[in-house]
Amino acid sequence: MGDFAKGLEGVTAAETNMSFIDGQEGRLEYVGIGIDDLAEHSTFEETVFLLWNNRLPTASELSDFRKELSKRYALPAGLARRVAEIPTTAQPMHMLRTLVSEMSLYDTHPNDNDVEQARRKAMNILGQAPTIVAMFDRCRRGLPVIEPDPSLGFSANFLYMLNGEKPTETMARAFDICMITHADHGLNNSTFAARVVISTLSDVYSAITAAIGSLRGPLHGGANEGVMHMLNEIPSVDDAEAYIMGKLERREKIMGFGHRVYKAKDPRATYLMTLAEQLAKDTGNADLYAKSHKIEQVMEREVAAKGIYPNVDFYSATTYHCIGLRLDLFTPMFAMSRIGGWSGHVIEQLSDNRLFRPAAAYVGPHDAPYVPIDQR
């Protein structure tokens, strides 16, 4: 039996062609292409094609992929009715986990697991998750539901369904960059959850549902909402230092900082910082960015030596806020993007499967007697 590695820290549990992370240098590549190049030049649809096919698409392949995805924006009628029935007080990540699971009820072959069927299910979930989130948000705000517009790309269509008007090019592009930078990231906790579930030859819906459950956690995807709560708690940039120092003294974790793999600044945080700064200026949220920048300076001085740097969640929070998203939709945004990565890993696992079944080191008693209840 192998050595015990708590939290599987440092253990390699799968091979992947999708994303490469250099934690020391702070570098991330999808199929060998640097994340900055993809954020600069790619689109979310092209990035998902890259992750699923291990190469960039030709122009006609990309056009076909986008058409294939946009055909799947609309929900089955029964599922649309279910979205409208969800309590308006439900937390969005619980809603999304529940309804992605429910998608399997409308699939005539929910258990089919050959790679082509898995890809079809993945397209369904990728296309319909944004519609579910937008429809739920409109219903809970008492606003009319906006049907998806298949002529729009993934990001523009989501913002259109959410806000009831076509987004500006700037906002659609900013959102698309968030989707690109969140799409995949090695064997993070939620991706591992998806691979563990599919390794029993269970179904894609179960695997993605498990991943959504994992991502909600504040130590993982839930951190972007934690960052926004923190920024809202700090009255002004002048209060940021004392606020952070107080949390550090109480040994409280600062959301949006630290990482199991990165011991340098997360390259996604670097890219999103620039985007957040520009968006904050354009939308009258300069104070929000100023607080974030001050927090980063204090953390650099206090804990960078321990390898604690901003991660992807730190500046995605400001970006999502400036795009106009409600705070409790931040983690569902992460999920919408990561469905691309999770699906790719599900397909990789199915293509070369081995059931995950690690060992547990037994530390309990042996040869214990069974004591009859009247003698206990």
Q: Which of the residues 137, 184, 203, 313 is marked catalytic?
A: 313
The answer to whether residue 220 is catalytic is: yes
Give the up-direction half-sphere exposure of residue 290: CA atoms within 13 A in the CB hemisphere.
11
Nearer to ligand SDX, 209 or 311 (CB): 311
d(CA 77, CA 159): 22
| The two structure tokens encoding residue 68 | 């294939």
Residue 69 C-beta: closest distance to ligand SDX, Å:
22
DSSP 310: B
Residue 309 C-beta: closest distance to ligand SDX, Å:
10
HEC secondary structure over 184-251? CCCCCHHHHHHHHHHCCCCCHHHHHHHHHHHHCCCCCCCHHHHHHHHHHHCCCHHHHHHHHHHHHHCC
Q: Which of the residues 94, 220, 282, 328 is marked catalytic?
A: 220
Nearer to ligand SDX, 66 or 338 (CB): 338
Q: Please give the backbone phi and psi of residue 353, each rounded to the nearest 5 degrees, phi first.
A: -85, 145
The structure tokens 């089955």 sit at 76
Nearer to ligand SDX, 219 or 242 (CB): 219
Residue 258 C-beta: closest distance to ligand SDX, Å:
2
Interacting residue ranges for ligand SDX, rule: CB under 6 A:
185-186, 188, 219-221, 223, 253-261, 306, 308, 311-313
Nearer to ligand SDX, 173 or 220 (CB): 220
In the complex, which residue's CB is closest to ligand SDX? Answer: 258
Q: Which of the residues 137, 182, 184, 259 is marked catalytic?
A: 259
Dihedral class, residue 105 (left if φ above 0, else alpha if ψ from -120 to 50, else beta): alpha
Residue 38 C-beta: closest distance to ligand SDX, Å:
14
Supply the residues annotated as catalytic. 220, 259, 313
